[in-house]
Structure 1
């Protein structure tokens, strides 16, 4: 029987009994994170972003949604890759005709190829979603970040202005605001969505900045003489941007569906712009005679919105330490 007071080296000799396993387990528990055998460091500890990317690469929801979004972005930029037809070309002799070789989605009420219009419609819808999200995220992050950092009257003023915008019904506001716009481009719709979308992101950014500026590293930076600009940009912003990215990613899908809703009601994009919302509105009166006119653009819209929402959920799970 081994002497319990013998040195560790004397106990660990042999072919690896219970004592050797216990000592190895104790050494692994005493070893600091990121250190290898003997306490030697194996590399730098991973940051929040490295951990998030490590989790995202192994998340099937993220991979599937990212592939769908990548495909949509490619056809939005180069729709000719999979649809070389003209979305405006009409043949009234084939109005509301069903699928046929070379035209798998059939024709609409004016004899235009539904497949070509669905592919080309991705450009307008995704352009509105991406540009509106970028504008709302930049404006909301700027105003909310400044309000959370400086506080005082600026914070109170921003909160009251945000409350006013929160009280405006989105659909009703869009009908009123866009009814006086005669442009058929996407920019009036983008501007309206940014106008009503920034308060939500501003509140998220304000809360994140208020939380981040209370951390010890911010107090240390101030004690070392860092000014407001350096403290905000170098120490607070990188640690407060994660919630904004999560909310903006989820909101992107919502903005695409909002554009389609406004276009369906006749207040969003207007012909001759090719849009899923416009095609859904035109097909709503012929759903009994030609349901294919409605199903294909509505299906493309649903898949796009779902992909962005799934991507936002995956990013939220990866960036939120509480969900790990």
Structure 2
């Protein structure tokens, strides 16, 4: 009679015992065997398999076939490979740098003028020529980026915050608050932008940028509010929001933790595109004489001063108008790229 095995897990089925006994013995050995660290399979990056076997354990997160990326991660993954986004982002970064430190590329004083050089063309050290007052057009063009970007960025942030908060609250709570906000927004939508600027800014005597910023925020928040309201109405009907409510989450926690993070993408896209529009609006109001006023250096002011002399000295109009057009185009291109990356239907 054979001696019994000291370790029952090491027992094997007698010869000819059948497939069931062999399967049971193999299962016992696999349960008691120590777990060995996984090692990568040669030639398959991000895929691991147990040592001694050829079966892959599965792809790593982020690899094709692995765990899907989040919306923000996937959006950034697309933006990094979008040449339109890279070009517009680099251009905007350059504009921000020269608006903060214009001395990096322009060493002159934009308010220093020489009437003897009035309307002269390009000269050594002054590649863009001189304007009617004899000021250096190149220096004024560089310094003009500061006022335009300040108005555009501040107005965009203000309109996005005000419109996003009011529109998000109206879409989430509904009821009389939603109806009241919708009627107020309709009133502001009916105000012509240029006519409203002529009426509102003509009574303001401040030489700073804040009256222009306030006016743009006043007329810009309804558009953002409407987008935020629609996005929140869509997000709050999703299953994860209903599950959070069923588990006892209050309205504030549901709005901040579940609805707002998934409804903010359209607001970001609209705000990014609107930034370029607000810069163009500031230049329009300054051209009409109700926006920024001297001694503030602005592209709109320079375009207004150069318009009567467009036949005699076209360079006075060409450079500030070109800088304004490139800036507006850069922000619109950036907004389009962000929209394509954040919209899953366009992926």
TM-score, normalised relative to structure 2: 0.82
1:191-225 Cα deviation digits (max 9, x unpaired): 00000000000000000000000001111111111
The residue aligned with 1:12 is none
- C-alpha distance in 2, partners of 1:232/1:102? 57
**Structure with greater proportional helix content:** 1
Deviation at 1:92, TM superposition (A): 0.4
- C-alpha distance in 2, partners of 1:158/1:239? 22
1:42 counterpart = 2:65: no
36-45 vs 93-102, greater mean Cα deviation: 36-45
The higher radius of gyration belongs to 2
- C-alpha distance in 2, partners of 1:191/1:221? 38
- 3-state DSSP class of the match of 1:38? coil
The residue aligned with 2:243 is 220
1:263 counterpart = 2:286: yes
1:160 counterpart = 2:183: yes
5+ residue gaps, structure 2: 1-45, 49-54, 62-66
**Following superposition of structure 1 onto structure 2, how do residues 65-84 of structure 1 map, counting pairs within 5 Å?**
65-84=88-107
- 3-state DSSP class of the match of 2:252? helix
The residue aligned with 1:178 is 201
1:308 counterpart = 2:331: yes
1:86-107 Cα deviation digits (max 9, x unpaired): 0000100000000000000000
The residue aligned with 1:191 is 214
- 3-state DSSP class of the match of 2:311? coil
Deviation at 1:38, TM superposition (A): 3.5
Deviation at 1:311, TM superposition (A): 0.2
Q: 1:116 aligns with which of 118, 139, 143?
A: 139
1:276-307 Cα deviation digits (max 9, x unpaired): 00000000011111000000000000000000
- C-alpha distance in 2, partners of 1:119/1:306? 17
- C-alpha distance in 2, partners of 1:188/1:73? 22
- 3-state DSSP class of the match of 2:56? helix
1:33-89 Cα deviation digits (max 9, x unpaired): x98773535125310000100000000000000000000000010000000100000
Higher relative contact order (CA 8 A, sep 6+): 1
- C-alpha distance in 2, partners of 1:166/1:136? 14
5+ residue gaps, structure 1: 1-33
- C-alpha distance in 1, partners of 2:189/2:47? 50
- C-alpha distance in 2, partners of 1:41/1:113? 61
The residue aligned with 1:130 is 153
Q: 1:285 aligns with which of 308, 314, 317?
A: 308
- C-alpha distance in 2, partners of 1:40/1:223? 35
1:95 counterpart = 2:118: yes
- C-alpha distance in 1, partners of 2:249/2:303? 55
Q: 2:86 aligns with which of 44, 58, 63?
A: 63
- 3-state DSSP class of the match of 1:109? coil
Deviation at 1:315, TM superposition (A): 0.3
Deviation at 1:258, TM superposition (A): 0.2
Q: After the TM superposition, which parts of structure 1 deviate over 3 Å for at least 4 consecutive aligned residues?
A: 34-39
